[in-house]
A and B are shown apart, each in its own frame.
Chain A
Amino acid sequence: MQLSRRSRAALAILWLGTLYSAPSLTGVLPDDEAEVLYDHYAGDDQVIHGTTWLIRKKIGDSFSVQYSRVTDIVSGASVDVRETGASPYVEERDENNVALTYLSGKTTFAMNYIGSTEPDYISNTANFSISRDMFGDLTTVSMNYSREWDDIFKMEKIQDAQGGYIKIHDPSFGEKHMDERTYGVGLTQVLTRNMILALNYQAITDQGFISNPYREARYLDPTSGRGWSLEQEVYPGTRTSNAIGSDLKYYLPYRAALDLQYRYYFDTFGIRAQTVQLGYTQPWRNWTFDGTARYYLQSQASFYSDLYPYLDSQNFVSGNQDISAYHSYSLGAQASYQFTIPHASWIQKTTANVRYDRLVTNYENFHEWNLTNPSGGIEPGDEPLFTLHADIYEIFLSLWF
């Protein structure tokens, strides 16, 4: 989807026209905060642990700046890359995120820049959003636009002079690019004293190399010992997606909150997906407890197959589990404890938090490729379907000042 230049200009002008408001009426900037988070993902022969550092501060009455740094350290490889015999690895991703918020009347402007670097992937994103509180602050309307530029490389292991191995960018793959554009609109409406509903829509378009240099698809090959061979994954050069999401929050009279989220997604790969999430928040003295149940269902991409009939059977081929048909559910629980630090009155509030999520994904048409055993009666395509279990831990400290 691309809005024509004229439509975009017209909408921008209409939008700017609604932005004027009496100077004495303003919204509120986000609170000053410092946060540190440690996360740990264990599942699927892959362990990822990481940290996030965040700091946010108001400058004067109209500006707020935020800086955050995210680091992920990945060990292992996800299952489809692993199934093809690719070797396990340890890799670090670093991300810097700088954001600026400007409040003018009832309108909030936000800009942010994200730079993410890993050995074979460099990503830069610029995001711009506007939101406006109106109608006695019962309604918030927002718009966002985002542009991402990615540089993709492929690592290869070569022997060095001492007989050990080093990893360099594969010159035959070279450097590939991917551009992504996001357009989004949102509407949040207070329905009653106890209920608020947020709706939002986002259209995302990717162009360029949107595949993965390491991924391969498999096809039936009677000449091979195990009955199948690998071919390079081939993706379309563009992908456009649409997502419509809703989030309803309801305040329970004994002081607790219910949260219900639903999202419908569809894209030009032919994938349709739905997400449903139910959350419950219960404060108790200095504690706040959260419980979450999430269910996700997706249909496969039209060109996906776990086992193609022969080499080069289609223009686009992919054995990527992420675009196969599957359903997953996760259950999560979080406990937060609020406290004050003695002799530090400049710190308004501090919370210590732990969260655990259990994620189970049942693939409906992705098999365990490394379990093929024709002599043992397991023909290609008869292997068990893959199931992914993951434990996700988060522990974080937040401080408001």
Chain B
Amino acid sequence: MRARLPLAALGLALLAGTLAACSPLQPWVKPYEREHLADPIMAFDRNATANAYLDHVYSVREAARGGDGAVGGGCGCN
């Protein structure tokens, strides 16, 4: 079970990837509609250094680790 869980998650990620790559159908948020997503207040990595420090403070005291670190979003330019 333990080994299959990450494979399931990986499978999900690859499914999204291959469907997106093969699909002739188009995104529902158009590239020219990304104004709000491009706003710096919507960035996952705004204040990256400060958040990294806080994450370090928590991870040193807590048993839980990992499961953070989002990439993506933003203006989707180019």
- A residues whose Cβ falls under 8 Å from a Cβ of B: 1-4, 7, 11, 14-15, 18, 25-28, 30, 35, 37, 39, 41, 50, 52, 54, 68, 108, 131-144, 182-190, 192-194, 196, 198, 200-204, 240-245, 247, 249, 251, 255-257, 261, 263-265, 267, 269, 271, 273, 275, 281, 283, 288, 290, 296, 298, 301, 322-323, 328, 332, 334, 336, 353, 355, 357, 359, 361, 388, 392, 394, 396, 398
Contact = CB atoms under 8 A, between A and B. Distances in A.
27 contacts: A1-B3, A1-B6, A11-B14, A15-B14, A15-B17, A28-B77, A39-B53, A134-B20, A138-B76, A183-B6, A184-B66, A186-B71, A187-B12, A189-B16, A198-B73, A200-B67, A204-B65, A243-B64, A251-B37, A251-B39, A256-B41, A257-B42, A261-B68, A264-B67, A273-B63, A290-B47, A322-B61
A52 B49 contact: yes
Contacts, number: 232
Majority SS at the chain A contact face: strand
Given A35-B49, A52-B53, A273-B63, A18 B14 contact: yes
A3 B7 contact: yes
A240 B2 contact: yes
Nearest to A269: B63
Contacts of A131: 71-72
Contacts of B71: 108, 131, 140, 142, 186, 188, 198
B78 A26 contact: yes
A39 B69 CA distance: 21
Interface residues of B, number: 57
A140 B14 contact: no
Given A241-B66, A396-B49, A136 B31 contact: yes
The 10 closest A-B pairs by CB, nearest first: A243-B67, A140-B72, A137-B76, A136-B27, A188-B72, A245-B67, A198-B70, A202-B66, A135-B20, A265-B64
A361 B75 CA distance: 39
A200 B70 contact: yes
B18 to A, nearest CB: 6
Given A52-B53, A138-B27, A290-B47, 19 more contacts: A11-B14, A18-B17, A18-B21, A28-B75, A52-B49, A135-B27, A138-B28, A143-B13, A196-B42, A204-B66, A243-B67, A244-B9, A244-B67, A247-B44, A251-B36, A256-B41, A283-B41, A288-B41, A353-B47
